[in-house]
Structure 1
Amino acid sequence: MRYTGFALLIIVLLAACSAEKKANKAFRLGKYQNTIDIYKKKLANDPNDGKANFYVAESYRLSNRLKEAEPYYAKAGGRGLLKDSIQFFLAEAQKANGKYDEARKTLEAVIASTPDEKFKNRLEAYLNGIDYLEKLNERRSYYKVKNLELINTPSAEYSPVFLNNELYFTSSRGNGKVYEATGTPFTDIYKVASRGANVDLATVATLPEGINSENINDGCITFSPDGKIMVFAKGNSGKRKGTNDVDLYLTRFRNGAWTEPVALNINDPDAWDSSPAFSPDGRTLYFASNRKGRARERAGYGGTDIYSAQMDSRGRFSRVRNLGPEINTAGNELFPYVAEDAKLYFASDGHPGYGGLDLFVVKRVNGKTVIENLAQPVNSNGDDFAIFLFRADRGFFTSNRDGGKGDDDIYTFINEDPNLKVVNYYLQGVTYTPDSVGKLRILPNTKVSLIDHNGDVMQDFVTGNDGKFLFRIYENEDYNLIAETDGYLVKRQAYTTRGRGVDPSTLKELVTNITLDTMVVLDKIDLNKYFVLDNIYYDLDKANIRPDAAKELDKLVQLLIDNPEIKIELSSHTDSIATVEYNQDLSQRRAESAVKYLVDNGISPDRLVAKGYGELRPIARNTNPDGTDNPEGRDRNRRTEFKILEVGVIPKTIEEEEEFDEDKYFKSDGNN
């Protein structure tokens, strides 16, 4: 009898050990619902098992069910588990459940006990975010929010996108196989006929096979402005471990049907890449990723970050960039969306908010980034995310707040701010080049870049045969336009919108578009062609560089930096007053002084030749035909010029080589 009892004990222990191994394996594979189910059985016998509570809490958190994690974090603990981290997650869960005072006490206790200064700073920032809510609630809101009841079900409906009188959304309402991370069915993409927020429920249908796939999560879509390109997320197929098995795919609408989806070349095989959104001009794709950072990308700041990538005319993507620490935090930032007014919206649990994910908007104010919480009633202590505006004052978003139909629901909103006026500023221009007689002609196939005051590239545009380019710009900002094409000098040109804005209070329409005009003239690279530098003046009988001359020479420094392949002769010329010998010597000293200034400002002396020509090469008469003085002619002759002596080949930088080589990894659909 003793033996039988002992044997039964061994069997029970082995079974428990086997169940724990199974649960831990499921957790590593991202099968969080399986982990929850197994450990809950263990908790039924021992509710205070710290390790079991921890894995249940983590599984709820990692499958976006933070509210349900709270009672389990409260009991979590054990050998090898970080107590401070558990308490931080407990505070997050308390906040998600609207228990702000409890979350504050939990954070204060961790701050007092943790020795990790970096972690302490994060906790203090999170605590300050709770205090910030009091100020946020004092702000008046003009938003009116309503559950889109006709669409929503007890299953999840999220990521609404409106296009051509159809509302697209993602839902788990199907009755197929259950996704083991959440315990709910896999998601598909649906669409329904809609006039704004008025949907025709009878028209609800899934997108065709090829877009939606069996036993795979499909969802989070975006369209190019013409509706002919769709990018969407697809994954959790089980081919890779955990939640990182999510990538972005592109399909085109051709001959009345969507083409076979193709994985984007910007996917990171070791990361979760999802929630894509095209910019209004269709040239930039924003998305969220938990990648660690690759060549030419800044490493992530924690959790999921928002990135951007540029799309060319063939649908290829490049120049992946992290949006930086102003937007991305140690938490999660995802579901980006760019409205017609160029404001970036996104969801975050890292910026101060009510709990879970909150919706934020990024505004540009005098060239600076300002991030604003949309406040209640748009935000709640639940997850609020995936906003989309089908008009400047109304749209959709997603929330799992209390009072919904279940899981994630789609909500509609209206902004009734009486002072809401949207002003969109655009800069349009044309690239030209002078012909042999100085007449301007259109220069096609020119890359024009818009550079902000920090020197960062905001947008690129390649002109067509008409030489036209178009950029979205902002009020009260300073820019540079940089234009380049083969065989021509790179041209850098300043542009400002200061003093060119309009007062929104004077406008009657909800949306006003203002287009400003400019032109950029590029000079062809011709050997021995002279370019006159304006306003390079010297004091009488002196060769030192005056402050006014330095400003002009700074422009030449920038030109040489922008065109590193050219070697120039910098020459100085005089009028005919004084002797030939004196003028020759003076012009040589002035040319050498100008070259020294360029070298002192970073230009290699190997690229520069100083040459004084004295009075030998006038471009105007120093005297009139009757022998009298010609001041205007002498003024033109006292000039500084440069000419191009050589054009070399600059080796590609490592970054350029990597960018070039990256194209071979693009997974073509055979139509590019």
Structure 2
Amino acid sequence: MKKFTLICILALTGVLYNLQAQYVTDYKRTADQYFEQKDYYSAAQYYSKALGTFNVKPGEYRPYQVEHSGKKKQQKLKDYEQVVYRLAESYRMYNDFGNAEKYYGEAVQFDSTLFPHARYWYGLTIRANAKKSEDYERAWEQLSAFRRGQKSYDEYSKKADMEIKNCEFAIEEMKYPPRYEVVKVSGNINQGGANYAIVPVADRMVYFTSSRPDSLLLAKKANPFVNTLYVAMGDNANYESREKVAIPTDKGIEQGAAAITPDGKTLFLTRWNSKDGSKKSSIYRSTRTGNGWSEPQPLDATINAPGYSSKEPSVSSDGKYFLFVSDRSGGKGGFDIWYASIGSGGTLSAAQHIGATLNSDGDESAPFYDPAKQTLIFSSNGRVGFGGQDFYSAKSAGNFGGWSTPQNMGYPINSAKDDQYYTGLSPDNALNKGFISSDRESVCCLEIFAVKRRAKMAGGMVLDCETNKPLAGAKITLLDSTQRNVLETQTTGFGGNYTFEIEMNKKYKVLIEKDNYFSKNFTFNSEQLTMVDSMMNPTVCLKRFEIDKPIVLNDIFYDYNKATLRPESKLILDSLYFLLLDNPKMEIELGAHTDSKGTDAYNLKLSNNRAKSCVDYLISKGIEQKRIVSKGYGETRPVAPNTLPNGSDNPDGRQQNRRTEFKVLRN
């Protein structure tokens, strides 16, 4: 009886083992099929079921279990490894980076020759889930370990290097206080599906794009997640979605990512079409008809280049520029920013590439231009940042050109996820208050956030050096750390004051100019703004000059009866050197004078040589020769008597006459 019972138990165990093996095979086979079909959500569900049939649980795996086990167990553990890795891949492919990180963390223990990219993806998913500096540090460690293990440089090595730079950048940037306040918009605007790309339309009214489920399509058992334009009403980061925008369209057509002209009469929008499994986008135009819009018509081939995608239109608030992104030929790589001028009657010029300065080898997205500040904001995944799509800003030198190098807009307007579709709430305050779209708080989809810039101020005062009174009408120019890109200009009022809105932990240069005054400049670092909201720069005084009026350079000394400059004289000439640097267009004459001792010819020669010594010194320091003229006057222009009325020597007078001076010839 005992023997019979034992046989039954063994038989039942074999049946259960075979059933378990069958379940593993069935779940894994089904998951593999979904994976190959790129249905990663379904694949993840079945890989998860397959994983549940193993005795080995996540976090308990040990590599030696494979090395020192029987043949069947070895195969079972290898199946386990494949399921874990495919599960991690499936989660990543539909952007569930939280679960992906968990299983890639398990996979880094597997044989790296069988799973060579596990550690790269582990580091990337840690970075994609990063909320604080410590997370970026963990990601950096994994990505750096991956690079150390690479025996050759390939595409994954290149990507890892970029991600390592992202981590280093984020770690440094997150040391400083936030530059923006970012709040997820409340109400029902973020309800269901993806919600993004807000467009202010009127007071308290916005349009936005959403892929929320369509009840009519659900009833027809069609795909309900179709991008469509919706209307929302509200303010103060609370918006209620009302209905779809009244645009004639066939059911199932995807459209959104729109822009409206300043007069509110023209709507540009993106429409997506799928053909042969490939999704292409084009930009359409619609005109207002009563309370709705006309049937959208595609823009011509100047904007919608045949065979390529064009999308994400934007119109500047002055109505002069139409911007969009496209992967058309002639770009730098991926989706680039293009633009056209808007003429009379709304006509668009031929599209032009906005330039290599702004576009990267990756994808640029959703440009927004503020003409008041001549500043462009856009998103990009081709530059060093926090990861994914980040916001960058660049300033035009004028006429929508001469762009400065794009600057990352920092934390928390940027996150480890995708951050796109910046738009200003109003034209007069576009860069300080607006909306963004981000999937930072979602597994799958973009959501809408309100943003407000935390203003940091720096200012100062300009005085007249002679009167010590405030100097009105001085032009103040703020430049970035390169000292080439103009950020803003102001003119001082009666109080001689100026104030700029600046970023924290940045270096700046201030140039102060006024007609008939010598210009000055100085640099400063805004690091102290991490502790306060404003800072004052030193008060600066400008000295007035008149063309052709000599200015004496005191304490310029030469060796006796020679033109050789003494060391202490060079210190005084250095101040003139810096004055010339501050006034790069200024041309001067540098003149030397003597007293009356000696012959006229001797004194003229000596003064010429002394003036030339001063000029040669300034040229040796880098001042262009064409900007300085040397002139010796000998004893011909005394400013004091060389002798007293009784005919005796006047040492003080002769001292005043032995002088070096300069005068401005041209400014």
Structure 1 length-normalised TM? 0.53
**Secondary structure in 2 matching 1:151:** coil
In structure 2, what is the equivalent of residue 535 of structure 1?
554
Residue 519 to residue 264, structure 1, CA distance change in 2 (3 Å) = farther
Query: What does 1:73-112 align with in structure 2 at a 5 Å threshold?
Result: 85-94=117-126, 96=128, 104=138, 107=141, 111=145
Worse-superposed segment, 52-61 or 550-559: 52-61
Alignment partner of 1:285 is 2:376: yes
In structure 1, what is the equivalent of residue 396 of structure 2?
311
Contact 1:174 1:185 in 2 (8 A): yes
In structure 2, what is the equivalent of residue 407 of structure 1?
445
1 CA distance for matches of 2:550 and 2:81? 78
1 CA distance for matches of 2:100 and 2:530? 49
Shift in Å at residue 321 of structure 1? 1.2
In structure 1, what is the equivalent of residue 659 of structure 2?
638
2 CA distance for matches of 1:384 and 1:470? 34
**Secondary structure in 2 matching 1:321:** coil
Alignment partner of 1:554 is 2:582: no
Residue 36 to residue 254, structure 1, CA distance change in 2 (3 Å) = farther
Worse-superposed segment, 100-109 or 143-152: 100-109
Contact 2:210 2:230 in 1 (8 A): no
In structure 1, what is the equivalent of residue 521 of structure 2?
494
Note the alpha carbon deviations across 1:272-326, whole angstroms, 9 max, x for none. 222445569522223334569xxxxxx9999767654433664x22234143xxx
Aligned length: 520
Shift in Å at residue 536 of structure 1? 5.5
Residue 62 to residue 85, structure 1, CA distance change in 2 (3 Å) = same
Residue 116 to residue 38, structure 1, CA distance change in 2 (3 Å) = same
**Secondary structure in 2 matching 1:92:** helix
Query: What does 1:127-526 align with in structure 2 at a 5 Å threshold?
Result: 148-158=186-196, 165-166=203-204, 168=206, 170-173=208-211, 192-199=232-239, 201-202=241-242, 205=245, 210-215=267-272, 216=281, 227-229=317-319, 234-235=324-325, 244-245=334-335, 247-249=337-339, 263=351, 265-267=353-355, 271-278=362-369, 281-289=372-380, 308-311=393-396, 314=399, 316-323=400-407, 336=409, 346-349=413-416, 356=417, 398-400=437-439, 407-411=445-449, 424-425=457-458, 449-451=477-479, 455-459=483-487, 461=489, 472=500, 479-481=509-511, 492-495=519-522
Shift in Å at residue 151 of structure 1? 0.9
Query: What does 1:573-652 align with in structure 2 at a 5 Å threshold?
Result: 573-576=593-596, 580=600, 583-603=603-623, 610-618=630-638, 635=656, 638-641=659-662
**Secondary structure in 1 matching 2:457:** strand
**Secondary structure in 1 matching 2:405:** strand
Residue 494 to residue 578, structure 1, CA distance change in 2 (3 Å) = farther
Shift in Å at residue 589 of structure 1? 3.5
Shift in Å at residue 247 of structure 1? 2.9
Q: Give the counterpart letter for 1:196 in structure 2.
A: N
Shift in Å at residue 233 of structure 1? 6.5
In structure 1, what is the equivalent of residue 74 of structure 2?
none
Contact 1:574 1:638 in 2 (8 A): yes
Q: Give the counterpart letter for 1:409 in structure 2.
A: E
Note the alpha carbon deviations across 1:46-65, whole angstroms, 9 max, x for none. 99799999999779768865
CA-atom RMSD, angstroms? 7.0
Shift in Å at residue 147 of structure 1? 5.2
Unaligned runs of 5+ in 1: 1-15, 25-32, 293-298, 328-335, 338-343, 350-355, 358-382, 432-439, 506-510, 648-672
2 CA distance for matches of 1:621 and 1:400? 83
Note the alpha carbon deviations across 1:169-224, whole angstroms, 9 max, x for none. 65233789x9xxxx996756766443322435448747566521322388878886
1 CA distance for matches of 2:332 and 2:635? 78
Shift in Å at residue 597 of structure 1? 1.2
Residue 222 to residue 78, structure 1, CA distance change in 2 (3 Å) = farther
Residue 518 to residue 583, structure 1, CA distance change in 2 (3 Å) = same
Residue 504 to residue 44, structure 1, CA distance change in 2 (3 Å) = closer
Residue 132 to residue 388, structure 1, CA distance change in 2 (3 Å) = same
**Secondary structure in 1 matching 2:402:** strand
More RCO (CA 8 Å, sep 6+) = 1
Q: Give the counterpart letter for 2:125 in structure 1.
A: A
Shift in Å at residue 400 of structure 1? 3.5
Contact 1:427 1:472 in 2 (8 A): no
Contact 2:458 2:535 in 1 (8 A): yes
Residue 584 to residue 236, structure 1, CA distance change in 2 (3 Å) = closer
2 CA distance for matches of 1:45 and 1:503? 51
1 CA distance for matches of 2:371 and 2:489? 14
Alignment partner of 1:572 is 2:606: no
Q: Give the counterpart letter for 1:347 in structure 2.
A: N
Q: Give the counterpart letter for 1:266 in structure 2.
A: I
Percent identity at matched positions? Answer: 22
Q: Give the counterpart letter for 1:214 in structure 2.
A: R
Contact 2:593 2:657 in 1 (8 A): no
Shift in Å at residue 111 of structure 1? 2.1
Bigger radius of gyration, 1 or 2? 2
Q: Give the counterpart letter for 1:287 in structure 2.
A: F
Contact 2:120 2:143 in 1 (8 A): no
Q: Give the counterpart letter for 2:414 in structure 1.
A: A
Contact 1:266 1:318 in 2 (8 A): no
Residue 150 to residue 387, structure 1, CA distance change in 2 (3 Å) = same
**Secondary structure in 2 matching 1:318:** coil
Contact 1:246 1:272 in 2 (8 A): yes
Shift in Å at residue 472 of structure 1? 2.4
Contact 1:271 1:290 in 2 (8 A): yes
2 CA distance for matches of 1:535 and 1:223? 59
2 CA distance for matches of 1:540 and 1:102? 64
In structure 2, what is the equivalent of residue 369 of structure 1?
none
1 CA distance for matches of 2:473 and 2:170? 57
Q: Give the counterpart letter for 2:439 in structure 1.
A: N
Shift in Å at residue 613 of structure 1? 1.9
Q: Give the counterpart letter for 1:157 in structure 2.
A: N
Residue 577 to residue 90, structure 1, CA distance change in 2 (3 Å) = same
Residue 211 to residue 597, structure 1, CA distance change in 2 (3 Å) = same
Residue 578 to residue 412, structure 1, CA distance change in 2 (3 Å) = same
Q: Give the counterpart letter for 1:272 in structure 2.
A: D
Shift in Å at residue 152 of structure 1? 1.3
1 CA distance for matches of 2:584 and 2:135? 61
1 CA distance for matches of 2:175 and 2:536? 33
1 CA distance for matches of 2:601 and 2:312? 77
